[in-house]
Amino acid sequence: MDQMAEPRMAHPLVPRVAHVRRRWRDGPDVWTLEIEDGAGSGFMPGQFNMLTVFGVGEVPISLSGDPADGNRIRHTVRAVGPVTRALARLRPGDPLGLRGPFGTGWPTDALDGRDVVIVAGGLGLAPLRPAILQLLARRDRIGRLTLVYGARSPDQILFARQQDRWGRRSDIEVAVTVDHATSPWRGYVGVVTTLIPRAVSDPANTVALVCGPEIMMRFAAAALTDAGLPETAIHLSMERNMKCAVGLCGHCQFGADFLCRDGPVFRLDRIARRLALREI
Amino acid sequence: MEPEDRVIVAIAGLNALIGALDRDGYRVLGPTVRDGVIACGDISGVDELPAGWSDEQDGGRYRLTRSGAETIFGFTSGAQAWKRFLHPPRQRLWRATRDGDRVRVHAEPAPDERFAFIGVRACDLHAIAIQDRVLTEGAYPDPFYTARRKELFIVAVNCARAGGTCFCTSMGTGPAATSGFDIALTELPGEGGSSFVAQAGSPRGAALLRDVADRPATAEECAAAEAIVARTAASMGRAMPDHDLRALLLDNPDHPRWDDVADRCLTCGNCTMVCPTCFCTTTEDSADLSGTESTRTQRWESCFTMDFSYIHGGSVRASSRARYRQWMTHKLATWIDQFGTSGCVGCGRCITWCPVGIDITEEVAAIAQG
Ligand SMILES: Cc1cc2nc3c(=O)[nH]c(=O)nc-3n(C[C@H](O)[C@H](O)[C@H](O)COP(=O)(O)OP(=O)(O)OC[C@H]3O[C@@H](n4cnc5c(N)ncnc54)[C@H](O)[C@@H]3O)c2cc1C
Ligand code: SF4
Ligand code: SF4
């Protein structure tokens, strides 16, 4: 056993302590935390951190801020259960535990010269926001850029003000649809996949980045392939239960892949067969 | 002494070996009879080992019996695998203390326990090697497992009998211990009590053997030891079907047999608890009443629970069909992609301790039939 790693190494399951700087509401039950992460070392768009509320628990949450912002990171959390509710209750100055960043990111460095279609459903826009910000910061390097976004209803639209600002720019096309319209809504109604065909003009030169509920991603992947994109040009961010984020706890297995290590972002050709199976 | 040299160790020599390990600061663990089963626990001498005991095992059935002989290692795998010491059922990870808005995280120190395991079978040697891959060879090794493993001393025992549910021969993992031990023993029954043909597998093992061996083994004794293991291999009643199991299972996620096994499986998770390679864990957080101190504890978890695959709104693998399929497909197929080896060593524990006697070799055979 002499070749084994040093036994006194830092335990990968021990979090560092960081503090909330600011928080704001970004939708019903959705809060964004800005966190000062002194020990942070940057991240790739699409990666996530494990966030601990001391005494409550730990959950995976995507980085939703601008990768250029250094140690001031953002997480956007929907309060759905004990840990996310406790995260959403944190106030400026409150401590939290943090491990990461973990996982594969969106292939934003490999998009030069390509058209990019971003397909997001609901909170799925959170892990895509850093990719959009990064692409906008080097906008001249890519071709057509389109965001196709679907939400349940107009009041559920994530980052609504920012999406409005993006919509007024000429270098990104934004198409938003809702499942159920309420009165002042004058935009699209229907599932997000119906907006995909018009977002693709040059399928052989287009790359798609997709994140949303698994069912929506299945349909989005089909719509994108129907629009002529090869499976190798479609990237999806998957979701599975996750406890350790370092490939030790076994929870996040998706076929042979550990989502925390081999994902969460996968190229469709790697997972297409599994994606078609239920309860994998 | 050269590694290939065989020596004879008497019962008194085995006792002396246990004593020497104890004096060297090892916590010596070996099989003992407890609550009607063979369980691993602390031992301080040979007289605590289960001399004269044997077992009958079958799907869903385990019974300790008197063997009628005074052999010490006449039984086969018990319910407990050695993982309960190297990768324990509960392990505190850290503690956090709070003073106003200041929180400090106190990492649990790496364990400094040194274990010596007496009586590790070939299947379990392979299981330990598999957990080594899982827990120490990735990008983020488990430092606690690594620390315990680094100090581990292993006395292996070649099986003199195939247990009722064993199928190690077909998995290529036994019944002979071929590597991964410090000392390996084959028990030779004799009129005046057993003696052991012993072989060192490491310099540490060789040094200890030198002190406790009686004499070199004769060619006849070596041949007798080999014949015992060969007889065990030949008498094994179960076998994993000879198939490319990886391809078989990955090609059959919709086989009707999954529905059939789902009708029988209780999703109790026993199979995962007793399996010597299953490694999955979850964590639990607790806080004291004043809210100034909190603790995170890691504990074993089974892929048969609903919580295991829970994501908000429901479990990904809600049906027992999906959960059994996940367990077996991981064990025999995706494990190979992940760690370069099968996750099954043929110890038969999952068959014996399944309350309804589900037999992994039978399930594979049914799928292989098409
Ligand atoms: C890679 C990744 C990125 C994520 N990014 C975000 C994000 O940016 N914002 C956000 O709000 N949510 C995100 N989630 C989902 C988030 O982790 C869950 O909502 C959260 O774990 C729910 O925990 P809970 O204790 O509040 O609720 P409960 O629903 O009661 O969950 C109980 C436990 O189940 C597990 N669990 C439940 N739902 C999920 C889930 N969807 N994914 C993984 N484990 C789950 C967790 O271990 C959790 O502690 C992400 C999940 C993954 C895997
Ligand atoms: S799957 Fe069953 S037979 Fe194989 S190693 Fe695990 S408990 Fe033993
Ligand atoms: S196979 Fe047997 S031991 Fe495993 S979960 Fe099902 S009933 Fe329990």
> Which tens digit of pLDDT belongs to each residue from A55-83?
999 999 999 999 999 889 999 999 999 99
Query: Cβ contact (<8 Å) for A246 and B139?
Result: yes
Helix, strand or coil, per DSSP, at residue B109: coil
Measured distance CA(A85)–CA(A31) in Å, rounded: 10
At residue B308, what are phi and psi to the nearest 5 degrees? -55, -45
Instruction: Note whether B46 and B60 are within 8 A (CB).
Output: no
What residues in A contact B246, CB-CB < 8 Å? none
**Cβ atoms within 10 A of the Cβ of A265, count?**
24
Structural domains for chain A: 16-102 (2.40.30.10), 108-237 (3.40.50.80)
Residues of chain B with pLDDT under 70: 1-4
- Token representation of residue A220: 């989005």
| Nearest to B150, CA basis, from B231, B232, B86 | B86
Tens-digit pLDDT profile for residues B42-85: 999 999 999 999 999 999 999 999 988 889 999 999 999 999 99
Q: What is the mean pLDDT of residues A147-169?
A: 94
* Helix/strand/coil percentages in chain B, nearest 5: 35, 25, 40
Any B CB within 8 A of A5 CB: yes
Confidence of residue A4 (pLDDT cuts 50, 70, 90): very low
Query: Which residue in chain A has the smallest CA separation from B287?
Result: A55
| Nearest to A46, CA basis, from A126, A149, A120 | A126
Residue A16 has pLDDT above 60, yes or no: yes
Instruction: Note whether B265 and B362 are within 8 A (CB).
Output: no
**Cβ atoms within 10 A of the Cβ of A139, count?**
11
pLDDT at site A143: 96
Q: How far is the CA of B297 from the centre of ligand 2 (A)?
A: 26
pLDDT at site A9: 62
pLDDT at site A5: 42
Kindly report the nearest CA distance between residue B32 and chain A, in angstroms.
Answer: 28
At residue B327, what are phi and psi to the nearest 5 degrees? -60, -50
- Token representation of residue B358: 């589900």
Which of B135, B279, B316 lies at the smallest CB-CB distance from A279?
Answer: B316
- Token representation of residue B82: 């050695």
Q: How far is the CA of A82 from the centre of ligand 1 (A)?
A: 10
The residue whose CA has the least distance to atom 6 of ligand 2 is: B275
Query: Cβ contact (<8 Å) for A13 and B93?
Result: yes
Helix, strand or coil, per DSSP, at residue B53: strand
pLDDT at site B191: 85
Residue A7 has pLDDT above 90, yes or no: no
Kindly report the nearest CA distance between residue A197 and chain B, in angstroms.
Answer: 30
Residue A48 has pLDDT above 80, yes or no: yes
What are B294's strand-pairing partners? B96, B287
Q: Which helix or strand (DSSP H or E) is residue A49 part of? A: strand A48-53
Query: Which residue in chain A has the smallest CA separation from B300?
Result: A249
Helix, strand or coil, per DSSP, at residue B267: coil
Q: Enumerate the H helices of chain B as residue ranges.
A: 11-23, 83-86, 122-136, 143-151, 168-171, 203-212, 219-234, 245-250, 257-264, 270-274, 320-329, 335-339, 349-352, 360-368
What residues in A contact B110, CB-CB < 8 Å? 7-8
- Token representation of residue B342: 């099968």
Helix, strand or coil, per DSSP, at residue B61: strand
- Looking up tokens 């990461």 gives A100
Ligand 3 proximity of B78 Cβ (cutoff 6 Å): no
Mean pLDDT taken over chain A = 94
pLDDT at site A2: 39
